Each structure stands twice: as C-alpha cells, then as structure tokens.
Structure 1
Amino acid sequence: MRPISLLLILIGCLWSGGCQQTRLSFTQVETPKVPSFTAPTNAPTLAKKEFTPLAPPEVISLSDELSLHLLPGTPSKLVGIHLLAVSPDAPYENLDILHTALTQLSVKLANQRDLPCIEGLTIHPSIHGLRLSLKCPASALAQAVDILAQSWSSDAYGELELSRLKRQLALDKHIRAFNGSEIEEVWADKILGSAHPYNKALNNRELQQSLDKPQLLALLAQTKAQSQWHLLLEGVPQVDDSLREQLTASLSQLGAQQRQEERFVDTFSPYGKQLFVIDAPGTVQTQVRIGYHLPMGLADQEDSAFACEALSRWLGRSFSGRLYFDLREQRGLTYGIYGRCFNNPMARILKYYGATQQQHTGAFIRGILDHLKLAAEAPPSEAELAALKTSQFSQIALRQDDPGHRIEDYSQAIARQAGSDAMAARLKRWQTLTPEELQALAQAHFGQEPVIVIRGDLARIRPDLEEKLPEWQLKVTSVD
C-alpha cells in the first residue's frame, strides 16, 4: 500500500508541477532616482551647532622607541590604558593566530594576577596595529602597564594549550565558511590583487595546523621586532617623574623596532568588464560587492583619502544615501546597501556592498552601476550636499564623543602616521566642498570599470545577469 501511495504522490507532483523548482520572474531595470531633501511644511527649525574637534592629545617621548599619549578621560572615571603596537610599513603576518593566542592568554592572566581590572582586558587587532586595552583605577596604573608589557614576553606563552588554540582556529575557519563570508576572501583577492601583502597576512592554514611552541614564539618575536610602541592613557591629566620612570622601565622590555628596508609597490591592474561569481547552489540570495582600488602613489594622499570617504558617504551612507534611498526605499531590491572607505597604509579601497533576492540580482547590480554613472554625470543639489555634510559632521561628532570609537580612530591615525593637523584639514575639506567638486571626484574615480564580486546560485541567476549586464563577462571563481 505504501509504495502505491508514494507513486501516486510522485505522479501528482509531475502532473501539477508542484514539486518542480519555481521559475523566477526577474525584476526589470529602472532609471535611478535620487532623494529629495525639501524640508516638510511646518517642520521645526533645528538649532545649528558648529562642530569643534577635540584638541590634539599631548604626546610625550619616553624614549626613541616609546611614546606616551594623554587623552581625555571616560565617564566611568577609570583610567583607560592602551598598549598599542603599530607597523606602518608592513602588515602584521598571521595576526589571526596571535590574536587567538592573546585571547587565551587573557583568561590565564585573569586567573593568575591579583588585579581585578585585568578581567576586562580586551584585544583589538588590525592589519597594521594591535592594541591591548584595560580600564583600571588610577592607583593600579603602573601595575597594569607592567602586566600589558609582560603579555608580549615569550615567558607568558609557556603554559598555553596549543591544541586548544589550533581547535579554535579551525573552528573559526568553519564558521567563516558556513556563514558565507568566503565572499570577503575572494573580494580581498580581487580588489587588492593576489600578490598584495594583505592577502598573505592571514589564513595561513598550513601554519595553523602544524603550529608548535617554537613557531608561536617566532611569530611573537617577529611581531615585536616590526612594531612601534605607544602607550595611550585616558583620564590621566599629568604624569610625574616617578610614574614616568616606572612606565619607561616596564615598557623597555618590549625592545627596539627593526626598520623595514623593502617598500611595497602596488601592482594592481583593473580587470575591465569581468564579473566574478562565487557559485553557491541552493542559496536564496545574492551577495554583492562592487568597488574601486584607489591608487596609493599619488602626490597628495590626503586628496585621495578624502575622495574615498566622500564618495562612500554620498552614495552609501545608509538611510539618506542615494543607493539605500533608491534600491531599498523606492524599489525594494534589498534590505540594505552601504558604502565604506578602507583607508589603510598600503591600500585604499572604496566599497559598496549589500545582498538581494535571486530575482532582483540583475536589477540590483545594474542599479548600483547606474548610480555610479549618474554621480559622474551630474552634481548633487545644494540641499543634498548640505544633508551629506550634516550627516558627516554628526557622525564625526558622535565618534568623538564615544570613548571606544575615539580611541579606535586615534589608534588608526597613528598606524597611518597621520599628522596632528589631519583632522582639522579633513573638516576644512568637508566645510568647503561644493557640488561641482563632489561631481569631479566621482568623474575622477568612477571613470574605470569597478571590481564586482558576487556570491549566489549561478544556474538560477545567470539568465538575469546575461540580460541585464550583457557587456560583462561572467567568470566563476572560488576561495583557493
């Protein structure tokens, strides 16, 4: 009886088509729309407040290799203590391994050290910097700095469980593969170029699997050797001679930096109209990354950095950006589309990113490309530019008021070797920016074809891509 029932169900499915995959009805392309910033009738007038940046922190040289930075305090009244290592001329290699080891070490320190605030130790890695942070009472400042300095000693890693460390690294790898973040690895490979040092700095699977104690200590020594050291203190109005001597003695064990002799040469070459596809059968949405590799060899790097920031904010600043307004609010093609500028010492990347349903794939990508073209063809209105400036100054003010963002931005500025007047120059550029100047930035940077990487079910979306983007060559790619 059971085989007959199953056979009848199968025949019914084939007859009705109910068991077959639903045929997609692809969304059509529309002319790009830009937001209107006309004030609503009877809307209250908001008070205008001029944004004033914080004064540059006081910087004290403790030695040729060490700098002390005194920053404003935090609302908690605890002293913010940050030991920052930066390597402006080269990325830190295998930082994912070192970060995992430091995380394990932080648990060990919390269990062994008689200092309650050590339980709050946090680790903040970036490709050119690594920051260890604590918040402690002022009376524990010298002891806390000494513990942070000792965290870089090879003796501190003698009792780490390497088997546990390797299991965590393997788990992180599987999590990245499961949640679809493989697109970020492919994106980095394409937007930077496979030979770029950033693409060789992480995910060394061979080392992660074979890692032993000598290799871990060699990695620690290499990281220390290429580092410049900075101690950032929040909420310490002044440092007397006695405290300065204690801090210098604790930090002297970090050693001297070994200067990098080789200089990086950017050899990136655009791909033309190639659209890279990560084929992911069965996925119900398409992830999209579109952007530009901005040149680093320009005479005026500040102009290039400002263009990257301005263009990312103009089109991709969430709710009031052009892409979000049109592709989400007007056409419903996505839950979110954003822009971001990655301004690192060895690469400057302008990136727009989002996700869409399968049936919207072609219209979504074409919509982004049409907005890039429109930005170069016509300047924004005065009202749109005013809204952009208001949004930008508000974001800068919020980040300045938040202690976490403030210390992160300051740390990144040190890694980029930005001067003390960099913020003032940046604000002046925003204040004086005109619609025609913003359009000129778009013309200068959107003239070449962008790099496009997507992840989705290629068999389902190929017809739509070939119809909406006939001039683009589809090229299947994957994580090596």
Structure 2
Amino acid sequence: MTNMLRARLAAPSILLAASMAFVLAFAAASQAAVKIQEVKSDKGVTAWLVEDYSVPIVAVQFAFEGGSTQDPVGKEGLANLMTGLFDEGAGDLDSDAFQIKLDDAGAEMSFKESNDAVSGSMRMLADKKDEAFDLLKLAVQQPRFDQAPMDRIRNQIVSGIVASARDPQTLAGRQWAKALYGDHPYARDDQGTQPTLASITRDDLKAFHKANFARDNLRVAVVGAIDADTLKKKLDEVFGDLPEKADLVPVADVDPKLDQVSQYEYDLPQTSLHLYYPGLKRGDSEYLAAALMNQILGGGTFTSRLFQEVREKRGLAYGVNSGLSNQSHSTSLTIGTATRSDRAAEALQVMRDVIRDMAEKGPTQEELDAAKKYVIGAYAINNLDSSQAIAGTLLVMQRDNLGIDYMEKRTALLEAITLDQVKAAAKRLLTTEPAVMILGPAGTLGESKG
C-alpha cells in the first residue's frame, strides 16, 4: 500500500472515530441545552457557533442563497456541475494536489446545490483546522474549474442522465414538475440535459460563482472545538474577501397548480400515487399547528391515520406518508404511496376519505397530545445527534429566520398549540382539491391525463 493511499484511508478513519466519540458523548448529555453564540467577523460575516470540546472535531456548514434557479436558460445544470468542482483544484493547486492536501489535513469537504441554494460543508480535526480552513478558503474564493476535471464531472452527470432516461420515476417526476410549476424555474431539472451541459463553459462557471458567492446571501454554522475569537478570524479568511452583495436573478413566488390529474403511463406492477395540497411558509403563524396536523395525518411512520387505514387495516401499501414541503418560493403538503396497480383506485379513495375526515373534523385531543410528545421528544434524536447534524440544524434555523433562541422556545411553542388551531390548519390546507399524480399502467384509475 502506497503512502498516499494510506493517507487517503487514514484521514476519514480518524474523523470517523472522533465522530463516534461525539455521538457517545452527546448521548450522555442529550438533554442539555445547546448554547448558540452569534459570531460576527470584522468584515461582517456572521455565523452561529456551538462550542463543544468533547471531541477534537470542527464541523462547518454554509449556504449561499440562489441555487439552480439561477441557472441561465439554456445552461440548466450549471449550479450542479459547479458543486462537483470545488475540491477539484483551487488557487495554485490542481485536482490531485488539492486532494492530497485535503487528506493531509484530515478533512472532508463537500458541496451540493438545491433549487434555492448552493451549500457546502467541511469536517476537520481541530488540531489541523488552520490547514483545513486554508483549503476551504481556496475552494470558496479561487476555484480553478480546470477543463479536465470539468469534462470528467460533466461526463459523470451525463451518464446519470442517460441512465435515468429509462427510469419511470424520473421521467414522471419531470412531467409532474412541469404540470405543477409550468415555466417557473422549479419545473426545470436541476441536473440539466445533455445539450445544456454541453453548452456550459469555464467562463459560465466563473460568472455564476462571481454572481452567487457573496457575503449578503451567506449563512454559516459551526459546531465543535473552536472558540468565538478564533472563528471570527477564520470567517474573514474564508469568506471575507467575497463580494459584499450577490447579483441574483429575481425569482417569483409560485403556487403549484392544483385541481388536476396528471398520469404517466408505464407498465408497472405497482402504481405510485401522489397528492399535492397547499402548504404554508415557515414563518406563517399557523405553521406549527399544520406540522402537528401533518404528523397525525401521515407524518408519523407507524401511528398516522393514513398508515393505519391504508396499510394496517387494508394492506394496500407497504407505507404511506405526508410532509410539508417548504422551498424559498413555493410550499405544498404532499402525500404519497405505492400500491398494487389493481388496487390503486381503492387506495386513492381510502386516502381521500382519510384526508376529507381530517379536513372536516380535525384530530382528537388524544392524537394531538401524542403528536406533541413525539415531535418534541424526537427533535434531539433527529437534529442534534452529531456535530454535523447540529450545524445543519443551525443552518436551517438561519435560512428559515427562526431566531437564535428557537431551540429554547420550540417546546413551549408546540405545547401552546390548541386543538382548535390544528383543526383550523387542517381545514385551511385540506379542503382544496389537490393535484393528483399517477405513475402506473394506462387506465389504472379510469382517469384521463391532466
């Protein structure tokens, strides 16, 4: 085994061992309050910090608002391609040299895009944080976008697009997005197409990076063995020399087009059913009531009304779920399942009956009490079980404008929700005729295409 290969294997192993130690340490004190500090650098970069010295790890997560909605028309897939190139060379380091330095620093780096943001994360050993932050600075400020890595990553994406062209779920998802969002950027495939990817040049990547990576659309969260004064300096080193303001293309809010049936016909043994109802913005005063209603309706894996009626009582599906979807420019409540094609009509009717009953009558007090208990109790397990998870939660809190004290207030806010509020949320969201999306054999439900 070469020394280089040993280094590539050793760094992740060290981080894994440290991460396991963090989980064990956190489990022992999971009920302790998470103390969040707001740290502002001299150049105005703000981060939320949770200091934790139980293990020698620092986790960083950050997001630049914008995402694939900023892809120019005809250049779809630009943001996604860019996120594959940040660790493929930066500054004076080409791809191989950058990867070797990253391994030597004992760090892990990743980037990804969504419709609404380009986000990144880095996990590093505390005693090598200087080297790790230096590499993050290069990646954020001076990505190279060299032609060879660019062609390689693009070919990987194209291979995935070609493979997915035979996948019914992928094809149906594209059709459904257009049916819901029309010509809005949310209807576009964020991976792009073969022609749009082929048209992307290095200059396109540089222009996108310059327009989107700025200080005013940046959110940062840090968790681990680092103090506030040290973090202030690192924030300026990594982000302080970025442009003050992003040059983002305005994106309009859009409501998904409801009251329609859209069917993708494919000869499958199972039919997938999806229902789209209105949602709520995260800052809406009824959002928490709607979240509790959703938990009772279909959010609780084994306890929800939909699960009990669709699976437990009738055996129509392996699972059924619902969830509130919150994007920067659109919201929805989505409900989905997959069932035998010859029983799809029955499953859809049962789902509609359960939803109608919730809209008309709402939940019982017993159901609401149980939902509160679960949602309050599961928060630490689902959101605070590792340094990366805590950093991710802090980032979401910032992006949703929940306030730095949200964790402290969350339990009281949920406890204060009344049965009447939850009933009102159910009526508000579920009385609208939904968009119904169907993937399965032709004529499964006797419905025509929407």
Q: TM-score band, normalised by the shorter chain?
A: 0.7 to 0.9
In structure 1, what is the equivalent of residue 129 of structure 2? Answer: 141
Q: Give 1:77's match in structure 2, choosing from 43, 46, 56.
A: 56
Q: Give 2:176's match in structure 1, choosing from 163, 187, 190.
A: 187
1:387 maps to a residue whose letter is A
Q: Give 1:276's match in structure 2, choosing from 238, 262, 269.
A: 262
Write out per-residue CA displacement over residues 158-196 of structure 1, whole angstroms, 9 at most, x where no aligned residue.
3543322221111221343344233333333334x2233
Distance 1:201 1:327 in 2: 32
In structure 1, what is the equivalent of residue 292 of structure 2? Answer: 310
Q: Select between 327-336 and 99-108 the one with higher mean Cα deviation.
A: 99-108
Alignment of 1:224-263 (within 5 A): 224-225=213-214, 228-236=217-225, 238-240=227-229, 244-245=232-233, 247-258=235-246, 262=250
Distance 1:474 1:227 in 2: 48
Kept in 1: contact 2:297–2:306 (CA 8 A): yes
Secondary structure of the 1:405 match is helix
Q: Select between 348-357 and 435-444 the one with higher mean Cα deviation.
A: 435-444
User: How high is the TM-score relative to the length of structure 1?
Assistant: 0.75
> Can you give the 5+ residue segments of structure 2 that lack an aligned partner in the other structure?
1-29, 72-77
In structure 2, what is the equivalent of residue 174 of structure 1? Answer: 162
Distance 1:110 1:227 in 2: 28
Write out per-residue CA displacement over residues 22-50 of structure 1, whole angstroms, 9 at most, x where no aligned residue.
xxxxxxxxxxxxxxxxxxxxxxxxxxxxx
**Cα distance 1:391–1:178, how it changes in 2: closer, same or farther (>3 A)?**
farther
Distance 2:164 2:269 in 1: 18
In structure 1, what is the equivalent of residue 8 of structure 2? Answer: none
**Cα distance 1:75–1:175, how it changes in 2: closer, same or farther (>3 A)?**
farther
Alignment of 1:37-56 (within 5 A): 54-55=33-34
**Cα distance 1:53–1:123, how it changes in 2: closer, same or farther (>3 A)?**
farther
**Cα distance 1:188–1:213, how it changes in 2: closer, same or farther (>3 A)?**
same
Q: Give 2:344's match in structure 1, choosing from 352, 361, 370.
A: 361
In structure 1, what is the equivalent of residue 190 of structure 2? Answer: 202
In structure 1, what is the equivalent of residue 427 of structure 2? Answer: 443
Distance 2:353 2:32 in 1: 36
Is 1:374 the counterpart of 2:362? The answer is no
Q: Give 1:67's match in structure 2, choosing from 34, 39, 46.
A: 46
**Cα distance 1:334–1:143, how it changes in 2: closer, same or farther (>3 A)?**
same
1:456 maps to a residue whose letter is G
Secondary structure of the 1:302 match is coil
Is 1:329 the counterpart of 2:317? The answer is no
In structure 2, what is the equivalent of residue 41 of structure 1? Answer: none
Secondary structure of the 2:391 match is helix
Alignment of 1:365-404 (within 5 A): 365-403=348-386, 404=388
In structure 1, what is the equivalent of residue 120 of structure 2? Answer: 132
Distance 1:265 1:352 in 2: 22
Between Structure 1 and Structure 2, how many residues are aligned?
407
Distance 2:108 2:40 in 1: 28
**Cα distance 1:237–1:158, how it changes in 2: closer, same or farther (>3 A)?**
closer
**Cα distance 1:118–1:170, how it changes in 2: closer, same or farther (>3 A)?**
farther
1:257 Cα deviation from its structure 2 partner:
2.0
Write out per-residue CA displacement over residues 365-404 of structure 1, whole angstroms, 9 at most, x where no aligned residue.
1111111100022232332222211221122121233123
1:330 Cα deviation from its structure 2 partner:
1.1
Distance 1:108 1:330 in 2: 57
Distance 2:100 2:216 in 1: 27
1:288 maps to a residue whose letter is L
Is 1:291 the counterpart of 2:276? The answer is yes
Distance 1:376 1:53 in 2: 38
Write out per-residue CA displacement over residues 400-429 of structure 1, whole angstroms, 9 at most, x where no aligned residue.
331233322222222233322444554334
**Cα distance 1:269–1:382, how it changes in 2: closer, same or farther (>3 A)?**
closer
Alignment of 1:417-432 (within 5 A): 417-424=401-408, 426-432=410-416
Overall identity of the aligned pairs, in %: 17
**Cα distance 1:142–1:232, how it changes in 2: closer, same or farther (>3 A)?**
farther
Secondary structure of the 1:181 match is helix
User: How high is the TM-score relative to the length of structure 2?
Assistant: 0.80
2:65 maps to a residue whose letter is S
1:224 maps to a residue whose letter is F
Secondary structure of the 2:403 match is coil
Kept in 2: contact 1:71–1:235 (CA 8 A): yes
2:364 maps to a residue whose letter is S
1:308 Cα deviation from its structure 2 partner:
4.1
1:450 Cα deviation from its structure 2 partner:
0.9
Q: CA RMSD in A?
A: 3.1
Distance 1:292 1:136 in 2: 42
> Whose RCO is larger (CA < 8 A, sep 6+)?
1
**Cα distance 1:458–1:435, how it changes in 2: closer, same or farther (>3 A)?**
same
> Can you give the 5+ residue segments of structure 1 that lack an aligned partner in the other structure?
1-50, 467-472
Kept in 1: contact 2:280–2:332 (CA 8 A): no
In structure 2, what is the equivalent of residue 121 of structure 1? Answer: 109
Distance 2:415 2:329 in 1: 28
In structure 2, what is the equivalent of residue 12 of structure 1? Answer: none
